[in-house]
Structure 1
Amino acid sequence: MIKEITKKEKDPKPKYNMGQNSWFMIKLAWTSGEKKVLVLSLLSAILAVALNLVNLYVSPAILSAVERHAPVADLLLTIVGFVLGIMLVSAASTYVNANTLYGRISVRCEILNLLNRKAATTSYPNVDDDRYRKLLTKSSECINTNQAAAEAIWTTLTTLTANLLGFIIYVSLLTSVQPLLILIILVTTVISYLIGNYLNGYGYRHREEEAEYERHMDYITGRARDLSAAKDIRIFGLRPWLEDLYGKAMESYTAFHSKAQSVYIWAKIADLVLAFLRNAIAYAYLIGLVIQNDLGVAEFLLFFTAVGGFTQWVAGILGGFNTLHKQSLDISTVRECLEYDEPFKFDGGEHIEAEADRKYEIRLENVSFCYPGADKNTLTNINLTLHPGEKLAVVGLNGAGKTTLMKLICGFLDPTEGRVLLDGKDIRNFNRADYYTMFSAVFQSFSILAGTIATNVAQNDVGIDMERVKECIEKAGLRAKIESLPEGYETYLNREVYEGAILLSGGETQRLMLARALYKNAPFIVLDEPTAALDPIAESDMYQKYNEMTSGRSSIYISHRLASTRFCDRIIMIDNAGISEEGTHDELLKLGGKYAGLYEVQSKYYKEGEADNGEE
């Protein structure tokens, strides 16, 4: 059931204002090599004003020529001149507008690249940070279409520039008639702007609520499309349930937008009422001048049209600022996401370079860790040293904290207390991306890329050492399978992207992940229960294979099955947020503690399973 959002939060203020966000986009266009976006946008605004002025003067000019009884040739010349002027300016404007699109798309794509890079490289704790994930979801919306803020802002800035230029020209024109008209129009439009500015900010003030509904819908949609869930959906008849969940999420999402639209419509109503008042006053004044014979027919037509045009310029400016304000809120969200705090050091950290054959030591000193929002530690006061070349097993029941310990060692998390040291240096001082190069790992969830088998092993599509790929595939016991395929190592994986891609079995996928770990050739190898889906004997065989092929490397094997890690130099058992027992497999059995008791239970289960299989 979707959790209803009822908590009333204080309206958040955007970190950046309209001017700052506009300047951000201008600088981005300049630095991304799309300077033509700025030039063409300015030229488009100038041409829009020019076309407006030509249209403004065409009727009064012709009427003036008729009034003074100008020769037919002069009248025709005036008409032809204005027609040619309109044609030329319109053609130039159309050409410029048609060529602005591509550069604007490129700038939007640059923002997309920045967001993707942020998502791929951000500090691991941010991945589970609810606020960051909401910002990322909302930021993605701001760049996903041509109408999204990251691209549409150029249209707004161009239109706003045109309106400002037209406003200046029309002010000088109308001042000669009655400056009071200008004041009336300005006052009414400013009031309209202030009302619209506040009401149109509703969406930003409630953006986290909207993002929450969107996350629910995206999750349900993703699960419905997930191939790994296809069997469960069919066997357990989950389709009606998923549809019901999606329907409730969509209902909440629709209700939110209905409420938002009801707020936005009041801004439109206020603008219409004020526009009616200012136009009525201006037209009444001009008609009065005509009645008093203070204006001729041609002048009346000019100023009558100018008043209408002036109100449009002013309304355009205010509407432009309202639109720019809403788009600026989205741009501010994108910038807040891009600039989200990084708890880890990257560029500013100490540079290190992994050396495969070097012997490193990792030591945990009084390490404790508590997840944000939790009421107790997952791990408390852990003291542990991984010696060079040592094979360390971390065992314990599900939920004991084994994976959390792995994340601390690998640098995915920083301890809330204590230190993690690499050769005596706190890893918080290192460039964290450099520190990650020290590890090669196989985790519980396999990350199969949409690419070839070779790229999945090398984790790259440039400069692949094919001989090394083949060597690692052979060591992993997958060579016969791969070379039996028509495309061999260039066979594509992931049918969601590539038609004709193959699906590897579970065991074949595990071997592929082993080949990937071998290819990286890092000083430390971590296996976080990658064989949990296998039976105990198959898992033990797989771990032995890992052991043989990683000889001489420091390794960490994480498992809840004790028999799988008997070959390790040392075994630690995690229980009650700490290391409860430590030693070799034989030493822990002789100790007769929790490890021995759990091993006895598991071994009895395995023996019973083998007996049942034998009877069959």
Structure 2
Amino acid sequence: MEEKINYPLGKTIKRMLKNITATNKKIYLFFVIFTIAAVVYPFFSVALPKVLINELSFGDKASFENILIIVFGYFLLTAIFGYVKSYVLNYSSPMLTLLRIDYIRDMTDKMVSFDYKYAEDAGFGEENERAFRACNSNNNGVEGVYHKLFETPAIFITTIVFVVFVGMLNIWILVGLVINLLVTLLINKGVHQYTYKNKKTLAHSERKNYYYYRTTHDFGFGKDIRVYNFKNRILDNYNKEIEGYVAIHKKIKNKEYALGFIALFTLLISDILTYGILIYKTANGMSIADFSMYIAAVASLSLMLKTLIQDLTTIYVEGQYVHDFYNFMDTDYGEKGGNIKAIADDTLEIEFKDVSFKYPKTEKYIFKNLNFKINKGEKLAIVGINGAGKTTLVKLMTGLFDATEGDILINGVSIKEFDKKSLYSMFSVVFQEVNIIAYTISENIACSSLDVDNERVWEALEKVGL
């Protein structure tokens, strides 16, 4: 059964604008300046041919001074408005990037706090892949939509003015352009919906391809691949995954290519109407100056309509992933926990009371009715064979997983009553698999980038012989 898309674009944009209002209202000021400059700028190139040809039509009586004034005025005005447009756009761009970085901060904060079972669930990653990618790039997702919301109103206003201007000449030219616009917009929407319906298949294929890419590029696997002669097996499987990935994209692109013929047909009709009507009017008395002006106006309108289509499509397509991001952020994945803050200036007493546990989506219990207590200040070593549940015990103790049955108490308080971040701050766990983060050594040791105590860092290094 195909997935139905329920996507409130208006609410998504409203929420994004609300974020600008709360974060940086200056963006609105730059938006107004940019819009004014961007709306005025295209009309100079439409007016120039008519004014210049009118002057040249006087023949020997044409004023060289007037021609210079027209040309110089054109270059001066386009330079001023073009500079303002480009400067404001470039100046505002980092502000929009900062908005995306704030989204990344919020998403990261959620991901390091939600229930650990989601971090180990590949299906969860595939389901939310589009939400995670909403903040990955300057041109897509959150920032891509912000850029288009910043630029598109100017294009929309300019298009409306050109529509009125061309429509006053002949309504059929306008009809042809609008039909082409609507058909192209519907086609782009259809292609996006088709792509979005295949999002889980794409995400699953991308995850498998990434696994093989990581395996084939990690020298750590080199010994095992050679000793056990895995080379051909890995490459064969990798090639199959690549072929599957290409097949999915080919299926989507074939759909886009087939629908593109409809847009091409409507474009052909639009061009026939435009140039046919203008040639007819010129043959029946329209001046060359007016012909040149309308040709420039129609060409500008056609370009504006295409740009408007692309921008609206981008807002619609990328807005879908922003909506997925908001859904991810609004869904409770256990990142909040309770309201009790971390226990300060005291050691911990940990008690397991009738705890039973099985991993999510499994039926086998790792522990059943487990009872024990670790008293304050007590040192305890837990030994056992591989798979006995030692690591699982630590994950339960530190709140990474919730007990399936029973309760875990810290200083007599249920572990569920603690705020998740506060709970994590009370433990320092070193698992058998350690990943070095791309920070300085001191930041890796301190597990923080703020107010690192270098004396404690050196003390820790000396204690472990490093």
Classify the TM-score, shorter chain: 0.7 to 0.9
Q: State the one-letter code of the partner of 2:332.
A: D
Match of 2:211 in 1: 219
Match of 1:345 in 2: 336
* Contact 2:39 2:154 survives alignment (8 Å): yes
1:362 aligns with 2:351: yes
Larger radius of gyration: 1
- CA shift, 1:59, in A, is 0.6
Q: 1:81 and 1:452 mapped to 2: Cα distance?
A: 57
Which secondary structure does the structure 2 equivalent of 1:441 belong to? coil
Q: 2:444 and 2:250 mapped to 1: Cα distance?
A: 46
* The one of 297, 302, 323 aligned to 2:288: 297
Q: 1:285 and 1:276 mapped to 2: Cα distance?
A: 14
* Contact 2:350 2:408 survives alignment (8 Å): no
Match of 1:153 in 2: 145
Larger relative contact order (Cα-Cα within 8 Å, sequence gap ≥ 6):
2
Which secondary structure does the structure 2 equivalent of 1:11 belong to? coil
* Cα shift readout 1:206-227 (whole Å, capped 9, x = no counterpart): 1221111221122223334445
Q: Single out whichever of 392-401 and 241-250 deviates more from structure 2.
A: 392-401
Cα distance 1:181–1:238, how it changes in 2: closer, same or farther (>3 A)?
same
Q: 2:258 and 2:9 mapped to 1: Cα distance?
A: 23
Which secondary structure does the structure 1 equivalent of 2:428 belong to? strand
* Contact 1:448 1:456 survives alignment (8 Å): yes
Q: 2:92 and 2:346 mapped to 1: Cα distance?
A: 55
1:182 aligns with 2:174: yes
Match of 1:373 in 2: 361
Q: 2:173 and 2:201 mapped to 1: Cα distance?
A: 44
Cα distance 1:89–1:352, how it changes in 2: closer, same or farther (>3 A)?
closer
Instruction: Report matched runs for 1:242-321 at 5 Å.
Output: 242-293=234-285, 295-321=286-312
Q: State the one-letter code of the partner of 1:421.
A: L
Q: Which of the pair is proportionally richer in helix?
A: 2
* The one of 101, 105, 108 aligned to 1:116: 108
Which secondary structure does the structure 2 equivalent of 1:407 belong to? helix
* Contact 2:46 2:296 survives alignment (8 Å): yes
Match of 1:60 in 2: 50
- Count of aligned residue pairs for this structure pair: 464
* Cα shift readout 1:312-366 (whole Å, capped 9, x = no counterpart): 33333223212222222232333344444322424xx32333245445342424x
Q: 1:467 and 1:78 mapped to 2: Cα distance?
A: 72
Q: State the one-letter code of the partner of 1:446.
A: V
* Cα shift readout 1:57-101 (whole Å, capped 9, x = no counterpart): 111122233446774143443333223323333333343444444
Cα RMSD (Å) of the superposition? 3.3
Cα distance 1:59–1:452, how it changes in 2: closer, same or farther (>3 A)?
closer
Which secondary structure does the structure 2 equivalent of 1:442 belong to? coil
* Contact 2:187 2:260 survives alignment (8 Å): no
- CA shift, 1:274, in A, is 1.2
* Contact 1:345 1:428 survives alignment (8 Å): no
1:438 aligns with 2:426: yes
Which secondary structure does the structure 1 equivalent of 2:368 belong to? strand
Match of 2:417 in 1: 429
Match of 1:331 in 2: 322
TM norm structure 2: 0.85
TM norm structure 1: 0.66
1:50 aligns with 2:40: yes
* Contact 1:371 1:377 survives alignment (8 Å): yes
Q: 2:300 and 2:442 mapped to 1: Cα distance?
A: 65
Q: State the one-letter code of the partner of 1:350.
A: N
Match of 2:126 in 1: 134
Q: State the one-letter code of the partner of 2:206.
A: E
Q: State the one-letter code of the partner of 1:63.
A: I
* Contact 2:114 2:336 survives alignment (8 Å): no
- CA shift, 1:197, in A, is 0.8
* Contact 1:220 1:246 survives alignment (8 Å): yes
* Contact 1:352 1:431 survives alignment (8 Å): yes
Cα distance 1:301–1:226, how it changes in 2: closer, same or farther (>3 A)?
closer
* The one of 156, 166, 173 aligned to 1:164: 156
Match of 2:185 in 1: 193
- CA shift, 1:178, in A, is 3.5
* Contact 2:172 2:273 survives alignment (8 Å): no
- CA shift, 1:55, in A, is 0.4
Which secondary structure does the structure 2 equivalent of 1:380 belong to? strand
* The one of 71, 77, 101 aligned to 1:79: 71
Q: Single out whichever of 336-345 and 407-416 deviates more from structure 2.
A: 336-345
- CA shift, 1:381, in A, is 3.7
Instruction: Report matched runs for 1:599-614 at 5 Å.
Output: none
* Contact 2:349 2:373 survives alignment (8 Å): no
Q: 1:40 and 1:467 mapped to 2: Cα distance?
A: 47
* Contact 1:36 1:103 survives alignment (8 Å): no
Gaps of 5+ in 2: none
* Contact 1:200 1:264 survives alignment (8 Å): no
Q: State the one-letter code of the partner of 1:325.
A: Y
* Cα shift readout 1:535-566 (whole Å, capped 9, x = no counterpart): xxxxxxxxxxxxxxxxxxxxxxxxxxxxxxxx
Q: 2:34 and 2:425 mapped to 1: Cα distance?
A: 50
Which secondary structure does the structure 2 equivalent of 1:176 belong to? helix
* Contact 1:279 1:311 survives alignment (8 Å): no
Cα distance 1:13–1:165, how it changes in 2: closer, same or farther (>3 A)?
same
Cα distance 1:62–1:341, how it changes in 2: closer, same or farther (>3 A)?
same
* Contact 2:38 2:155 survives alignment (8 Å): no
Cα distance 1:195–1:470, how it changes in 2: closer, same or farther (>3 A)?
closer
Q: Single out whichever of 415-424 and 53-62 deviates more from structure 2.
A: 415-424
Q: Single out whichever of 238-247 and 324-333 deviates more from structure 2.
A: 238-247
* Cα shift readout 1:246-305 (whole Å, capped 9, x = no counterpart): 322222212222222112223432222112212322333344434444x33333332333
Cα distance 1:467–1:278, how it changes in 2: closer, same or farther (>3 A)?
closer
Q: State the one-letter code of the partner of 2:421.
A: A
* Contact 1:408 1:414 survives alignment (8 Å): yes
Match of 2:401 in 1: 413
Q: 2:459 and 2:42 mapped to 1: Cα distance?
A: 72
Which secondary structure does the structure 2 equivalent of 1:352 belong to? coil
* Cα shift readout 1:505-526 (whole Å, capped 9, x = no counterpart): xxxxxxxxxxxxxxxxxxxxxx
Instruction: Report matched runs for 1:529-540 at 5 Å.
Output: none
Q: 1:84 and 1:297 mapped to 2: Cα distance?
A: 25
- CA shift, 1:452, in A, is 5.8
